[in-house]
Amino acid sequence: MTIKKQKTLNQEYVFSGKGLHTGQVAKMVLKPAGVNTGVVFHRTDLGDEAFVEAIAENVSSTARSTTIAKGEASVSTIEHLMSALAGMGVDNVIIEIDNVEVPILDGSARYYVEAFKKDGLKEQDTAKEYITLPGEIEIADEKTGSYIKVIPSETPSIDLTVDFGSKVLGVQKAHWDCGTDYSYEIAPCRTFVFFHEIEYLFQNNLVKGGDVENAIVIVEHPVTKEQVDRLAGLFNVPSLEIDSNGYLNNLQLHFPDECGRHKLLDLIGDLSLAGGLVNARVEAFKPGHSINTRMAKAIREVLSKLNNK
């Protein structure tokens, strides 16, 4: 059996842009890190000691994105970056960021993955650690009907089902395992929002950084031309239209089931807060940041109990 080694980045990468929810511009520098570092954020604007480890115990909010915090330092909307790191097999990295929210970029993990693929990763001299569980874990949310099951297995995999009760989306399924080409199948899949949610979100300052370049907009219910024109004004573009499939024509889908694949992207990122890749078969129905991170925390609690025996 080949022993897989830990990996870090081959060089530093700089990403800049506005946050989806705050609209604030951040500069982010991803740096190679030593073995067993894990993923650590450094809020450089808050001083030399403002570090936040990307682990489930540090999750402070899951309202429309995943936020981690430690002391006075917090970092929000980390899930796409976390997914890119996990999906591409990056174990150790220091992420310097000079503001509160990770740039949304195009709403996917695409730009991170393209950078990593171009230069490859650096193999380190320590074995990669996989999380092995003693038994099945299941978490459910009675209000939403969501659940996640984690079943011990020799190889990691995820099967996900998304059902928003939407005639546009329908029921979408997505799959990941170690043989999946994350960079092509999952990384380019962008975040999405329903048209009827947008005005409320804008009015409540919840998507200050939203625009036509970083989100798929689903038009589930009939809307008037005036509503579409008003949205064009909010997005500061001349005009928008609704295509025949029920999506706003601000962008073209990469896959017919791109929204389901994006939920898989999110789940991979959130579950990586368990501290590594879990040797388990994951079954998820209607996942979201709250239940995703609850599962990551449950995994870490089980491991903590095992280690303290």
Tens digits of residue pLDDT in 130-152: 999 999 999 999 999 999 999 99
Catalytic residue among 21, 42, 80, 289: 289
Query: How do residues 82-108 score in pLDDT, each as one tens digit?
Result: 999 999 999 999 999 999 999 999 999
DSSP string, 71-84: TTEEEB--HHHHHH
Considering the entire predicted model, what is its pTM?
0.95
**Which pLDDT belongs to residue 208?**
67
Query: What is the b/e burial string over 226-261, where b = at least 16 CB atoms within 10 angstroms of the residue's CB?
Result: eebebbbebbeeeebebeeebbbebbeebeebbbbb
Q: Which residue has the higher pLDDT, 203 or 117?
A: 117
- The stretch 31-57 carries a mean pLDDT of 98
**300, pLDDT greater than 60:** yes
- The stretch 3-25 carries a mean pLDDT of 94
**Which pLDDT belongs to residue 280?**
96
Of the pLDDT bands very low, low, confident and very high (cuts 50, 70, 90), residue 207 is low
21 among known catalytic residues: no
The percentage of residues in the chain with a pLDDT greater than 70, rounded to a whole number, is: 96
Least confident among 10-14, 202-206, 253-257: 202-206
Structural domains in the chain, CATH included, are 5-132+260-307 (3.30.230.20)
**272, pLDDT greater than 50:** yes
Residue 181: partners with Cβ closer than 8 Å, 6 or more residues away: none
**192, pLDDT greater than 70:** yes
For the chain, what is the mean pLDDT? 93
| Measured distance CA(34)–CA(32) in Å, rounded | 7
- The stretch 28-39 carries a mean pLDDT of 98
**9, pLDDT greater than 60:** yes
**Which pLDDT belongs to residue 214?**
85
